[in-house]
Amino acid sequence: MSISERLRLSVLDQSPIAEGQSGSDALANTLDLARAAAALGYHRYWVAEHHGGPMLAGPSPEALIGPIAAATDGMRVGSGGVMLPHYSPLKVAETFSLLAGLFPGRIDLALGRAAGTDPLTTFALQRDRRQAAPDDFPAQLAELLAYLEDRMPPEHPFARLARTLPGRPETPEPWLLGSSEQSAIWAAELGLPYAFADFINPNGVPIARRYRESFSPSHRLAVPSQAVGVWALCADSEAEAQRLAASSRMAMIKLRAGEPIAVPPPDEALRFLADRSSAAHRRRMVLGDAEQVRAGLEQLAADYGARELIIVTITHEHAARRRSYELIAEAFELEPRRERGAVQAL
């Protein structure tokens, strides 16, 4: 059995904005990386949702999924994720039904509870600003799933709306995202696939274990299915990987301090980090050359009991980010996909 048969590799793209570049540049880089990931053999490509900052250009995964799916073949495409508290469940169901109808069998709808931004921007995103929005995520999630699965109780006033979703009979595959125990509990109770964000909380092994052990089989899923989101960066040498990773480390330290910035150049970041203790670099990173990163990722997957890793990488230079995914694909012997438009030799 090959490595790639034992462990699926996927991509989480946060559309990073490098210092000196625009959000438009970052979005063009997202499309370029998606095409490369599809050709390299990555299983799925998720785009994130973040609002109101200079570092990430992806506030609307629903707007990016269509262009990415249209530009690629074979690879699943989806949200990583839609931050459901900002939205009407019906609107999310309609949007992802439409995407599933356009790209049958390829669309994922991964859902999160977090705001993906600061409290002021969260409030600005509300349609009704007379008071803070209620924390009713479980009810929102139940309503959304009922629309997608046409399981709304007949007496519910919205029951007929489930039958009007535009992409039927196609539907997206729902996932629950999380970085805490509560998300694992919900995913297990509902029988949903679960993606845990190790790059946010590196202490998630017992949380993932709880998901597996308390999983309730459902019409959605017979056995637990989990993926782990991990921050990784691969380069031709460990020293180069460490240098490139400095950009993300500086950006995250500034973000936690309430001073968000675009992704800085590595040399600027190294000077910044030289004045700070290693304790400030809290995010877990799998770094190194191809052999080191493969070993680190395999160990992380084994620790979590996961069959899939969703890799997020941020660098100042897009070429370095793309090269990292290329090196990882080679290290894991992923099966390349034929390029779109390629003509088979007679």
Burial of 202 (0-12, 13-18, 19+ CB in 10 A): middle
267 domain residue, yes or no: yes
* Domain contains 343: no
Distance (Å, rounded) from C-alpha 269 to C-alpha 309?
27
Residue 336 in domain = no
pLDDT of residue 167: 97
pLDDT: is 48 or 121 the higher one? 48
127 burial via Cβ count (<10 Å: 0-12, 13-18, 19+) = exposed
Partner residues linked to 56 by β-bridges: 16
Q: Is the pLDDT assigned to residue 298 strictly greater than 60?
A: yes
DSSP 126-174: -S--SSPPP--HHHHHHHHHHHHHT---TTSTTGGGGGG-TTTT--PEE
Res 282 pLDDT > 90: no
pLDDT for the residue numbered 346: 30
What percent of the chain is predicted at pLDDT more than 90? 86
Q: In this predicted structure, what is the pLDDT of residue 128? A: 87
State residue 279's pLDDT score: 53
Averaged pLDDT for residues 171-178: 98
CATH number at residue 168: 3.20.20.30
Percent of the chain whose pLDDT exceeds 70? 94
Domain count within the chain = 1
The label of the residue with tokens 């009407």 reads: 88
Tell whether 159 is covered by a domain.
Answer: yes
286, with CB counted inside 10 A (0-12, 13-18, 19+), is buried
The alpha carbons of the chain give a radius of gyration, in whole angstroms, of 20
| Secondary structure of residue 49 in the 3-state scheme | coil
pLDDT in tens, 197-248: 999 999 999 999 999 999 999 999 999 999 999 999 999 999 999 999 999 9
* Residue 269: inside a domain: yes
Please state, in angstroms and as integers, the Cα–Cα distance from residue 123 to each residue in 57, 91, 185, following that order: 19, 19, 28
Q: Is residue 276 part of a domain?
A: yes
Cα 30 to chain centroid, rounded: 13
Task: Examine residue 222 and state whether it is found in any structural domain, yes or no.
Answer: yes
pLDDT exceeds cutoff 80 at 142: yes
Segment 298-316 shows an average pLDDT of 97
- The predicted pLDDT at position 342 comes to 44
Cβ atoms within 10 Å of 340's Cβ, excluding its own = 12
- The domain containing residue 110 runs over which residues? 3-331
172-181 average pLDDT score: 97
C-alpha to C-alpha distance for 293 and 324, rounded to whole angstroms:
10
Pick from 68, 71, 116, 64: nearest CA to 95: 64
Give the model confidence (pLDDT) of 13-63 as tens digits: 999 999 999 999 999 999 999 999 999 999 999 999 999 999 999 999 999
Of the pLDDT bands very low, low, confident and very high (cuts 50, 70, 90), residue 319 is very high
In a domain? residue 337: no
